[in-house]
Amino acid sequence: ILNVEQSPQSLHVQEGDSTNFTCSFPSSNFYALHWYRWETAKSPKALFVMTLNGDEKKKGRISATLNTKEGYSYLYIKGSQPEDSATYLCASAVGVGSSNTGKLIFGQGTTLQVKP
Amino acid sequence: DGGITQSPKYLFRKEGQNVTLSCEQNLNHDAMYWYRQDPGQGLRLIYYSQIVNDFQKGDIAEGYSVSREKKESFPLTVTSAQKNPTAFYLCASSRGTFSQPQHFGDGTRLSIL
């Protein structure tokens, strides 16, 4: 089983602070890296799907970068707001043969708490 | 609205009993997945299906069974062989390729009586 590691496990910041988390994944046989946001009492929602080395994606105050050669992705939140409080999950895709379909292996998540 | 519906939200199982968790999607997605979450752990894959009438074991399939008779439906049965079934179960669907995100239901929390 692949190991996808996220750090830190939890984070507490003040409103307005910028923050970032790390997702580490095996760099061999890379297919894609997914980021999800999971708010309490809701279902996980996709933030980004990244497939190319050097990819950078942005959605509002949240952005992500990808380094497939060294096997890591960073998620950045600029000017954190209380509504950003959630668990952020990353997942690495594991292919079946040479197919681009298969399964995701999830990290354990980073839980962010933003204090007003 | 399109989405994934899981039912029930809470489920209780007696010792030695099989229970079935429902997952229905109206997104016309080909692929569907079942995950289990335990405290302090990430989502772990139980079973997945890329197409109707076909499914594959995930990383923790022992004690579980699934069927995929219709594109919209992917029920999960937790059998009596699953010795530690208490957990939160999430169903997801996607268009199937890795470049497509997964869409999740709201989950079912299963507890042992």
Interface check for B79 against chain A (CB to CB < 8 A): the answer is no
Cα angle A107, A108, A109 (rounded to 5 degrees) comes to: 90
Per-residue pLDDT tens digits for B72-93:
999 999 998 888 899 999 999 9
Only one residue has tokens 């692949």, namely A2
A33–B contact, CB cutoff 8 A: no
Q: How high is the pLDDT of residue B16? A: 85
pLDDT value at residue B81? 86
Q: Can you give the pLDDT at residue B13?
A: 86
Q: Is the distance from CB of A66 to CB of A96 less than 8 angstroms?
A: no
Q: Do A89 and B96 touch (CB under 8 A)?
A: no
Distances (CA, A) of A86 to A11, A43, A115, B35, B103: 10, 11, 12, 19, 17
How many whole angstroms separate alpha carbon A8 and alpha carbon A81? 19
Distance CA A96, CA A38 (A): 27
Q: Say if residue B55's pLDDT is above 80.
A: yes
Closest Cα in chain B, distance from residue A104 (Å): 8
User: Looking at CA atoms only, how far is residue A3 from chain B in angstroms?
Assistant: 11
Distance from CA of B63 to the nearest CA of A (A): 19
Q: Does pLDDT of B29 surpass 90?
A: yes
A43 vs B4: CB contact, 8 Å cut-off?
yes
Residue of B nearest to A6 (CA): B42
Of B44, B96, B101, Cβ closest to residue A34: B101
- pLDDT lower than 50: segments of chain A: none
Q: In Å, what is the CA distance from A84 to each residue of A12, A69, B39?
A: 11, 30, 21
pLDDT of residue B28: 95
The reply to whether residue A108 touches residue B42, judged by beta carbons under 8 angstroms, is: yes
Average per-residue pLDDT for chain B? 93
DSSP letters spanning A64-102: EEEETTTTEEEEEESS--GGG-EEEEEEEEEESTT-SBE
Q: For residue B43, list chain A residues with Cβ-Cβ distance below 8 A.
A: 89, 91, 106
